[in-house]
Amino acid sequence: MRVFIVKSDKEETDKFMKIVEEQLNEYGIEFQIITSSNVSINKRRLDSSSLVVVCNGSRYKDDIKSFIEEAVKKEAEIWPIAINKEDRLPEGPISRKQSYDVWEQLRRRNLDKSQISTIALSFARKIIARVLPTLYNENGEIFISHRRLDGEDIAAKIYDRLKMQAESMTPFRDVARINVGEEAQPVIDEAMKDCEIFVFVHTPKAAESEWILKELLFAMLRCIPVLWIQIDDADEKKLKIKPSEKPHLQYKSENFIEEKDLIEITDEILDRSFRLIMENSNRVFDYIKSIESLFGSRIICEHQDKMIYRISMERKGYHYPQRTIEQYFQVFGRMPTDTDLVDLNPLKENEKLDSVVALSNKTLNFAEKHGIIMDSIEDFYYYWNEYIEGKKEKIKLNRGEIVISGAFPDCDEIYKQCLTDALVIFSKAIIREGYILTFGAHPTFQELFFETARKTNTHDAKNSLKMFISNWFMERQLDKEEYYKTNCHLLKTEKKEDLNKSLQIMRRKMIQRREVKALVCLGGKIKKNKEEEGIREEIELARAYGIPVFIVGTVGGCSAEVAIEYQKNGWKNLNDASDEINEEFLNSIDYFGLVRTMLKLVEDK
């Protein structure tokens, strides 16, 4: 879709559009500013799939007016903008079109014109949703997770303001959306499954709730971005699982009293939510790269903007000739909606077609709706890969162990979602391929790995995991020992006279064993004293024992710093991979592709 923005001659409108243009540039949306000097060539580029933004009240010259008339003739989509009340009605051939009313948007938020940038960002998101329909859904759901005991009032205020300020997006709060007499949990589960962003209201008593833990795990394992809002300095250490190292937003209870503060808080929530959603959705392109690599010449892109593809694959396992498998699929960086599925139905008119599939980078359970199959991109890749290579589906844990090492790095909390996503993607693939996932007892990641194993290897989750823990820590949490043993193979190591020496023993026993086939490093803290960085010590232990090491750089932290050091040294003695592959581990955010590459190298060794 081409986007054309007709330049205004009014200063305040021009300032508004500058903010819109900056936001479009940030997310790679191509657009053309229409002026008298380029109007002729751009007339020829107009078609029915174009989006034209027109600023009401502008004194357009005749050549610009002719461009707008041409857009009407070509049946392009036209969005007029009204900055002021007196400019609400467009002029000329677009006089009947509804304007985007900036004054009304300000009124709904109780803002004045000095805060118009908030409305400009909101308008830019409408354009992004129109241009990238499979990545961003402006009508998506915002799930608000909270503890009723001390968070209900704050959650209610966030919910009420979101309903007013979020325009099309729909907030979900259990009390507000569940009808009298209706069973609550199925409604809550369905809302979580379909949401685009998970807003966690972390009040002081939230960490005590098992339901909060369940909801956080649900979101993180399904790669649904989590916006963490800390209230009244709620104790982070009490959370069994954290979506990132630190909260994205922090407030006091008293911040939710005044209407003006509520409006500002809600806009901050919407802005951070959008950034998280887009950061998450953009990774879908890396999945597409892996799928194209899997199918090679057997895959054709039928519609680039809508990300619709066709596969033609020869059938296997029958003596007589058969027709090829014909399948269409559409890729989404968000949850597919009922409308999306209905729109795919015309593809089924092809009599030779076997199926049409809607794929999401969120974790979906295989299902059929409106005659369309819904599935996750990871599962789609996994089952096709099994079919192409002729492997059996059942997981057999007899291929050795792969150790994952890491921790949240010091960086913007928005980007720490990358580490969580990478951990989920790596751990699922490792377990699915029949390896045991081995890790040190890092409290942030324990529950994430436990739940990933349960979802990935439903028949034998415990035997998919090995967790090493030093008695330095174990002696202080003896009440958890049975819980650990239920969820994994627990291996306790010797306690020494201080923490560092105790950790050294644990790391050596975890890594230097013949069963370990690889070490994967992600994130980690950067410290002034490099000798205190656990990732460095674990890499040295692995190298000394001949174990290949793979360092993921794009999650930041110590792993990024160490990867750059190895790059400068020509990647010597790190693994048997090529320099090109190690460069990919340093620079790529395609975690799905990286783990497939690593597993292939380990298998071939």
Cβ-contact 43, 67 below 8 angstroms: yes
Predicted local distance difference test score (pLDDT) of residue 182: 47
Predicted local distance difference test score (pLDDT) of residue 348: 85
Domain count, the chain: 4
Collapsed DSSP state (helix, strand, coil) of residue 128: helix
Statement: residue 210 has pLDDT above 90: no
In terms of domains, do 591 and 453 share one? yes
Q: Which helix (H) or strand (E) holds 6?
A: strand 3-6
Mean pLDDT of 500-515: 94
Integer Cα distance of 314 and 337 in angstroms: 31
In terms of domains, do 420 and 538 share one? yes
Chain mean pLDDT for the chain: 88
In terms of domains, do 119 and 153 share one? no
Classify residue 86 by burial, with Cβ atoms within 10 Å: 0-12, 13-18, 19+: exposed
Mean pLDDT of 134-152: 90
| Residue 396 maps to a domain | no
Q: How far is CA 185 from CA 211, 229, 462, 602, in A?
A: 10, 23, 27, 43
| Contacts with 485 (C-beta within 8 Å, 6 or more apart), sequence order | none
Cβ-contact 216, 201 below 8 angstroms: no
Strands 436-440 and 367-369: what pairing? unpaired
| Residue 599 maps to a domain | yes
Cα R_g (the chain), whole angstroms? 27
Collapsed DSSP state (helix, strand, coil) of residue 551: strand
In terms of domains, do 127 and 228 share one? no
In terms of domains, do 172 and 262 share one? yes
| Residue 288 maps to a domain | no
In terms of domains, do 196 and 329 share one? no
Burial 4-43 (b: 16+ CB within 10 A, else e): bbbbbebeebeebbebbbebbeebebebbebeeeebeebb
In terms of domains, do 432 and 546 share one? yes
Domain range holding 217? Answer: 141-281
In terms of domains, do 272 and 336 share one? no
Percent of the chain with pLDDT over 90: 53
Strands 170-172 and 100-101: what pairing? unpaired
Amino acid at 582: N
CATH of residue 421's domain is 3.40.50.450
Integer Cα distance of 548 and 185 in angstroms: 46
| Contacts with 37 (C-beta within 8 Å, 6 or more apart), sequence order | none
In terms of domains, do 380 and 277 share one? no
**DSSP of 220-282:** HHTT--EEEEEETT--GGG-SS-SSSS-SEEE-GGGGTSHHHHHHHHHHHHHHHHHHHHHHHT
CATH of residue 88's domain is 3.40.50.10490
In terms of domains, do 127 and 146 share one? no
Q: Which helix (H) or strand (E) holds 44?
A: helix 39-45
In terms of domains, do 258 and 353 share one? no
Predicted local distance difference test score (pLDDT) of residue 551: 95
pLDDT digits (tens, 9 = 90+) for 463-507: 999 999 999 999 888 888 999 999 999 999 999 989 889 999 999
- In the chain, count H helices and then E strands: 22, 22
Asked which of 281, 305, 322 is the last residue of a domain, the reply is 281
Percent of the chain with pLDDT over 70: 95
In terms of domains, do 179 and 320 share one? no
